[in-house]
Amino acid sequence: MQDVIEALNEAQQEAVQHIDGPLLILAGAGSGKTKTLTTRLAYLISEVGIDPLNTLTLTFTNKAAKEMRERASRLISTQTSSMPLLCTFHKFGLLFLKLHIEKLGRKNNFVIIDSDDKKRILKRIAKEHSIDLNISFIGSEISKYKNTLLTADEILKKAELPDYRKIATVYKDYETEIIENNLVDFDDLLMLTYKILEQDKELRRETSNRYQYIMVDEYQDTNELQFKLLKLLASEHGNLCVVGDDDQSIYGWRGANIRNILEFSTHFKGTKTVKLETNYRSTEPILKAANELIEHNSQRIGKKLSSFKGVGDAVKLLHALDESLESKSIAREIKELLAKGVPADEIAVLYRINALSRSLEEGFTKEGVAFKLLGGMRFYDRAEIKDMISYFRVFANPHDDFSLERIINKPKRAIGKVTVDKLKKGAFENNSSLFTFMKERELAGVVSKKASNSLKKLVEQIELLQHELNHSLYNFIELFEESIGLKKYYASMVDGTERVQNIDEFIGYFREAISKNPNLTLDIFLNDISLQSDQDNIDENAVTIMSIHASKGLEFEHLFVIGLEEEFFPLLGEGCNMEEERRLGYVAITRAKSDLTLSYVDSRFYKGQRKRIEKSRFLGEAGLINDTALKISKSKMYKKGDLVKHKIFGIGRVQGATKSGKEYKLKINFGGHKKEILSSFVQMV
């Protein structure tokens, strides 16, 4: 064990050998956090003599838990007869509830329902109340409520908008049903565990005393419920060690609370903080860009990565006129790398929003570069794009029963499976297509009156759009959304913004195809798509394309990041969190080992139209381009993110600076109170 510890760097050794009291290991990208965490667990058991059964190590994924379990078992002394509990938060909740759920008046033979089961229950309850809201949206909101410990009654009291009162009504009936049937959903595994521990003080003491040493991986990703649960578990001893990186907190949109890590030392008195700042992954130029970018954030504890590998090639910038040329340039560069013998799995392309994958997929297919899409569907495989293509196929050939069946109830037209089965039976008996049967037969006696009216309207819409196809493809695409409303249908979903972006990307691609080929027909366009969406010879030996979110925890020798433009990366507008966008930039850059290319274009499709766009502010903030707007805020004395002290207001963080006579006027955030102060009245901390 001693030789393993001696192989660690000084900061890692300090973290490993800390025994009692709260410990925050601030682990920068590529700094060996997993090695540090597993070595600390082994040290406590093999060197200090802590019983493995008195330890608890929590992770977020089964994959991470498996890897850490394997690493730890290799380090732990073979004399140990028992193994430590190392699992996900939710697995811990399951184990706990099997032992103690009776304290809530429930039986321990409960059944865990999956997301599909949950949707079916919610769909039935919503139908009973005549609530016509998207089921995925209802499910997502209920999940949020459980993870913030809000009951249906509390939501009913607080909700001001009618839709949220409807959700609370469904939530209340849903909870009644799953309790009556002794079911639990995924969120219950933690919520019910917390409730039991919070209500039963004796059991809380017993559980906390059992798990004397608790460790948590990826702490920056914890939500409010997980934080509260950890406080209860560590309440008797305070021996809570968390490992994380505030600069890699990128899941705010799904409930992760960055304040958990930023305020750890406030919540757990006497915290020891150890910073792991030696990066073993990337070269110095890559880390310099990452450090300079993230320094512009004010919500961070602060650290600076240094490269163990040392010098390397400068970060490259790729500038193209549009996304087609961008993808072609990247595909050709990758072909050169592959020709030199670079393994395909050491090459990746990242993007901020999924809609950008379409041009990459097209460009790579044309250049014959095999690729795999990680952590998401290929563009033409996404439900909303399949719906668009199915509509187009119906307009080109209304007798395409397969495509018509796909879109017959999208958007919803009160046409369910029973109605479709009746239509198919009628069409078969009359030896006709579905469309012909719907158009020529009186449907009132076959299906319900509501369904009959909907089908009649759908036939009229198809014929109207077919007519427009023969006159103007430009007008056709405008009329399509106006009459069908597919974007409006998808906009109401939980991930509606992304789905609408994908539809806009498809529409924009269609418009550009029209402008490039005056003789284009819908048949030609659909045939081209079929060729692009059927990538040949795909195997594991392929270049990886993925979102930045999906890339977290991975690393590549050669990395390309596309879409470095305002409104694409960073995203702008309502709900945008610029500091989280910057953290995404930091995560993207630090995936690269030695070769990093950041790409931006002059124009790109945006909301279905080609638009000229500005290059991303992040290129300037990372010190990769000369941006005059940044020169003042990054002056030799003060830069965005600096901590300063004022004799009255105390410690604050600089958010910006402007020239004011012979000195600078600083915008400073003093713990939430923002002031403009002349630089001569503050000093650096």
DSSP 8-state class, residue 609? E
Q: How many other C-beta atoms can be found within 10 angstroms of the C-beta atom of residue 62?
A: 12
Task: Note the pLDDT of residue 245.
Answer: 95
How far is it, in rounded angstroms, from Cα 245 to Cα 290? Answer: 14
In angstroms, the Cα distances linking 315 to 147, 293, 303, 556, 651 are 41, 13, 21, 14, 35
Task: Note the pLDDT of residue 533.
Answer: 52
Angle at Cα 573 formed by Cα 294 and Cα 492, nearest 5°? 120
Residue 591: active-site member: yes
Q: Is residue 580 helix, strand or coil?
A: helix
Task: Note the pLDDT of residue 636.
Answer: 41
How far is it, in rounded angstroms, from Cα 45 to Cα 80? Answer: 8
Condensed to tens digits (0 to 9), the pLDDT of residues 186-197 reads 999 999 999 999
pLDDT band for position 538 (cuts 50, 70, 90)? very low
Q: What percent of the chain has pLDDT over 70?
A: 94
Rounded mean pLDDT of 566-577? 84
Q: Does the pLDDT at position 535 exceed 50?
A: no
How far is it, in rounded angstroms, from Cα 460 to Cα 99? Answer: 61
How far is it, in rounded angstroms, from Cα 659 to Cα 631? Answer: 10
Task: Note the pLDDT of residue 540.
Answer: 62
The residues facing 677 across adjacent strands are 666
pLDDT band for position 168 (cuts 50, 70, 90)? very high
Rounded mean pLDDT of 599-605? 93
The DSSP-derived string for 353-405 is SGGGHHHHHHHHHHHT--EEEESS--GGGSHHHHHHHHHHHHHH-TT-HHHHH
Q: Does the pLDDT at position 629 exceed 60?
A: no
- Which member of 34, 436, 497, 655 is catalytic? 34
Look up residue 72 and give its two tokens. Answer: 């730890």
Burial 659-682 (b: 16+ CB within 10 A, else e): eeeeebebbbebeeeeeebebeeb
Is the entire prediction scored with pTM above 0.85?
no
Task: Note the pLDDT of residue 536.
Answer: 41
pLDDT band for position 534 (cuts 50, 70, 90)? very low
**Are the C-beta atoms of 639 and 295 separated by less than 8 Å?**
yes
Sheet holding 347-351, edge to edge: 316-320, 592-601, 556-561, 347-351, 543-547, 371-374
Residue 665: active-site member: no
Task: Note the pLDDT of residue 659.
Answer: 64
In angstroms, the Cα distances linking 254 to 89, 251, 352, 659 are 16, 6, 16, 40
How far is it, in rounded angstroms, from Cα 560 to Cα 121? Answer: 44
Q: Which of 475, 459, 460 is nearest to 510 (CA)?
A: 475
For residue 376, the number of C-alpha atoms closer than 13 Å in the C-beta half-sphere is: 27
- Which member of 59, 220, 248, 544 is catalytic? 248
pLDDT band for position 298 (cuts 50, 70, 90)? confident
Q: What region does 590 belong to: left with phi over 0, alpha with psi -120 to 50, or beta?
A: alpha
Residue 248: active-site member: yes
**Which of 178-192, 446-460, 598-612 has maximum average pLDDT?**
178-192
For residue 186, the number of C-alpha atoms closer than 13 Å in the C-beta half-sphere is: 13
Q: Does the pLDDT at position 181 exceed 90?
A: no
First to last CA, the chain: 40
Residue 645: active-site member: no
- Which member of 372, 591, 617, 639 is catalytic? 591
Q: Does the pLDDT at position 632 exceed 50?
A: no
Rounded mean pLDDT of 653-679? 80
Condensed to tens digits (0 to 9), the pLDDT of residues 477-533 reads 889 888 898 988 888 787 788 888 889 888 888 888 888 888 888 888 887 776 555
How far is it, in rounded angstroms, from Cα 113 to Cα 366? Answer: 44
Specify the range with the lowest mean pLDDT, choosing from 28-32, 62-66, 167-171, 562-566: 62-66
Q: How many other C-beta atoms can be found within 10 angstroms of the C-beta atom of residue 460?
A: 12
Residue 199: active-site member: no
Rounded mean pLDDT of 626-631? 58
DSSP 8-state class, residue 590? T
Rounded mean pLDDT of 242-252? 93
Instruction: Using the structure block, give the residue that is written with the tokens 């899409």.
Output: 373
Q: What does pLDDT average to over the chain?
A: 88
**Which of 57-66, 178-187, 210-219, 456-465 has maximum average pLDDT?**
210-219
**Are the C-beta atoms of 52 and 84 separated by less than 8 Å?**
yes
Say which residues have a Cβ less than 8 Å from residue 240's Cβ, sequence separation at least 6: 22, 23, 214, 215, 216, 230, 233, 234, 268
**Are the C-beta atoms of 652 and 643 separated by less than 8 Å?**
yes
Rounded mean pLDDT of 238-251? 95
Say which residues have a Cβ less than 8 Å from residue 181's Cβ, sequence separation at least 6: none
Q: Which of 36, 32, 41, 34 is nearest to 73 (CA)?
A: 41
In angstroms, the Cα distances linking 163 to 82, 142, 491, 498 are 52, 13, 15, 21
Q: Does the pLDDT at position 625 exceed 80?
A: yes
Q: Is residue 622 helix, strand or coil?
A: coil
Rounded mean pLDDT of 427-455? 85
**Are the C-beta atoms of 554 and 588 separated by less than 8 Å?**
no
pLDDT band for position 661 (cuts 50, 70, 90)? low
Task: Note the pLDDT of residue 488.
Answer: 87
Condensed to tens digits (0 to 9), the pLDDT of residues 322-345 reads 999 999 999 999 999 999 999 999
Condensed to tens digits (0 to 9), the pLDDT of residues 115-133 reads 888 988 999 999 999 988 8
**Are the C-beta atoms of 550 and 374 separated by less than 8 Å?**
yes
In angstroms, the Cα distances linking 84 to 44, 49, 52, 79, 215 are 11, 13, 4, 14, 11
Task: Note the pLDDT of residue 680.
Answer: 75
Q: Does the pLDDT at position 610 exceed 90?
A: no
- Which member of 217, 292, 295, 621 is catalytic? 217
**Are the C-beta atoms of 668 and 644 separated by less than 8 Å?**
yes
